[in-house]
Amino acid sequence: MKAVLLIDFGSTYTKVTAVDLDTEEIIGTSQSFTTIETDINDGLNNALKLLREEIGDIEFSEQYACSSAAGGLKMVAIGLVPELTAKAAKMASLGAGAKVMKTYSYQLTEADLEEIDEINPDIALLTGGIDGGNKEVIVYNAEMLAKSKKKFPIVYAGNRNCASTAKEILANAGKECYVCENVMPKLEQPNIEPAQKQIREIFLQEIVKAKGLSDAEELIGDILMPTPSAMLTAMKLLAKGTKKEEGIGDLVGVDLGGATTDIYSMCQGLPSQSGTVLKGLRETYAKRTVEGDIGMRYSIKGIVEATDIDRVCEISGLDEDRALELIDYLSVHTDVVPNGDEELIMLDKALASLAIETAVTRHAGHLEQIFTPMGITYMQLGKDLTQVKKVIVTGGALIRTEKTAEIAEYALYNEMQAMSLKPKKADVLVDRKYILAAMGLLSTNYPETALRIMKKELIKDGNNE
Amino acid sequence: MEKKKLVIGVIGADVHAVGNTILNNAFKQAGFEVINLGVMVSQEEYIQAAIESGADAICVSSLYGHGELDCAGLREKCDEAGLKGILLYVGGNIVVGKQDFNEVEKRFKAMGFDRAYPPGTSAETTIADLKADLGC
């Protein structure tokens, strides 16, 4: 046996997963509360103790970790035009596993700067202008950031023709500034990988230390990446595969949490029907979006606001007063799980369904119908997911219910929203053991093993037998 | 010297792609940097592209006869977006039916366009005007 330990320091739980590389099996998983306030190793040791009770005293030959503890990787994204560089900057930050606290466009105001200081991000991503394009705004924004009272590092990924000017302005003010390639060197063609690479490097070098996670480094070697980045890595590997091992093809991933809902899509998303013109910023093959207002507990009211209490009632079968009462209760008692209670099971099912419907609709592209003298033409904005054949679901509310498949149906195309380009017909694969982030970590050195384990462990249609 | 930048595209619900491709190539060969938005371009898209790219001119094409409706208000929106004084050209089959082009040109100039071209204008004419107007 060659055992590897994979650790995820989450905001609430520290989760550990043990894998045997020889048999390519999950040996065991466990979790315990994250203890960032005292010593992060306490929580890890508690989780390990539980794991050893389950699987015995195994020696691990390697250990890897990811983290979203201590608020995760908090970022602000700054661009020029909202639909162009500002959107590309947000896309780059989300794809690097960050929590984007706010996106700014055009010139930063004094009030914006105050707000940024209040957010005190781990990194600010400064973009604006295609290469050779607008210089005034990004240089102005560098001057504004130079006045910030906080010490966060700044990644410059804007117009290359004024990178040195901006860097000098920031350096003179004692700010750390890392220059990398433009997130949008040509119009509507995002180039987000260089900025993401820079963000990850800063995360490893500085943020891990600043957040008291480096105590854990002695025990586990390096913390490799933020947790969402591990998820993204896993999903990308699962879809694309490696040279030696085939992936499962295009997919959509849903991670329904208590506070937020993350949606991933791995596909090109080009128009699938003829007579459709693709418009706006090209989106990347690997796309992640985060809905901060949609979650099963902390953001439970966001689900109702984004949809309708009538629909909650319709799906859950509860009457309106009772549903509202329970929602109020759950928004405060965030650790309550249904635990066999029929009312709560039905309510959670309704909320999870609507959360997924809302989050996937926001993630997916849509069509706009244009009547022209030549007849009807369609404009596609965003990614066409209609041909995607796999939906991967994870997150507590989905993997601990028997109604996973019914809930996941809400990620699919429906005729009531005919212009929304969601998957038309897809298999639902459930991450019952909650291993996706761990497999993202494992894949840094053992991609084929991680891929084969995922193929084995992700169970179709939530059917556990 | 830095190349002058042009944002080009076919406005509105117009999907005529051939002329757009010809202009794209002709402008590039003439030494301009071209940001081509293709067909079915909205006023907002021209403006966003011009802001990000720091463009020197916006060249609007229209072939399907609705150009006048599609172009109305573009200059005002440019002013609003901080693109004050950017060159605006329009050309193609820009009005309904056969009308006296002098009248048509007057109307488009009143809408804030610097130049308007009748059907059948060759790319060379526009290129010469661009070079004169941009001083390159």
pLDDT band at A221 (very low <50, low <70, confident <90, very high): low
Question: What mean pLDDT is predicted for residues A338-344?
Answer: 90
* Residue A370 DSSP label: E
When comparing pLDDT for A118 and A274, which is higher? A118
With pLDDT > 90 as the criterion, what percentage of chain A qualifies?
69
pLDDT of B97: 83
Q: What is the three-class DSSP state of A17?
A: strand
Q: CATH number for A3-70+216-221: choose from 3.40.50.2000, 3.40.50.300, 3.30.420.40, 3.40.920.10.
A: 3.30.420.40
8 Å CB contact between A76 and A102:
yes
CA distances from A179 to A54, A126, A163, A182, A465 (A): 48, 10, 7, 9, 52
pLDDT per residue as tens digits for the range A23-69:
999 999 999 988 877 778 888 999 999 999 999 988 899 889 998 87
What integer pLDDT is reported at residue A222 of this predicted model? Answer: 67
Q: What is the pLDDT of residue A463?
A: 47
Domains of chain B: 5-134 (3.40.50.280)
Both tokens of A295, joined, read 């979650």
Task: Establish if A133 touches chain B: CB-CB under 8 angstroms.
Answer: yes
Mean per-residue pLDDT for A412-416? 92
**Position A459 confidence tier, pLDDT thresholds 50, 70, 90:** confident
More confident residue, B13 or A241: A241
Residue of A95, A99, A113, A94 lying closest to A71 (CA atoms)? A99
Listed in order, the ranges of chain A carrying CATH 3.40.50.2300 are: 74-206
Lowest mean pLDDT among A221-230, B77-86, B102-111: A221-230
pLDDT (average), residues A202-214? 76
Contact A277 B49 (CB under 8 A): no
A372: chain B residues, CB-CB within 8 Å: 13-15, 64
Q: Is B97 helix (H, G, I), strand (E, B) or coil?
A: coil
pLDDT band of A220, cuts 50, 70, 90: low
B114 is catalytic: no
Whether residue B53 and residue A372 make contact (CB cut-off 8 A), yes or no, is no
Q: Name the band, by pLDDT with cuts 50, 70 and 90, for residue A219.
A: low
Mean pLDDT on B103-132: 96
**CB proximity A367 to B under 8 Å:** no
Q: What is the mean pLDDT of chain A?
A: 91
| pLDDT band (50, 70, 90) for residue B103 | very high
**Chain-chain contact of B38 with A277 (C-beta, under 8 angstroms):** yes
Q: Does B101 touch chain A (CB under 8 A)?
A: no
> pLDDT at residue A465 above 80?
no
What would the pLDDT profile of A361-382 be if each residue is shown by its tens digit?
999 999 988 777 777 888 899 9
For chain A, give every residue range classified as CATH 3.30.420.40.
3-70+216-221
- Structure confidence at residue A464 (pLDDT): 44
**For residue range B4-49, what is the model confidence (pLDDT) as tens digits?**
999 999 999 888 899 999 999 999 999 999 999 999 999 999 999 9
From the number of C-beta atoms within 10 Å of its C-beta (0-12, 13-18, 19+), residue B4 rates as buried
What type of residue sits at position A119? I
Judged by average pLDDT, the poorest of A35-49, A139-153, B110-124 is: A35-49
Element (H, E) at A165: helix A163-172
**Segment 72-91 of chain A within 8 Å of chain B by CB:** 80-81, 83-85
Tell me the fold of A74-206: Rossmann fold (3.40.50)
Please tell me the least confidently modeled range out of A38-42, A416-420, B53-57.
Answer: A38-42
Q: How far is CA A437 from CA A50, A232, A360, B105, in A?
A: 20, 8, 20, 62
Does A377 sit within 8 Å of B15, measured CB to CB?
yes
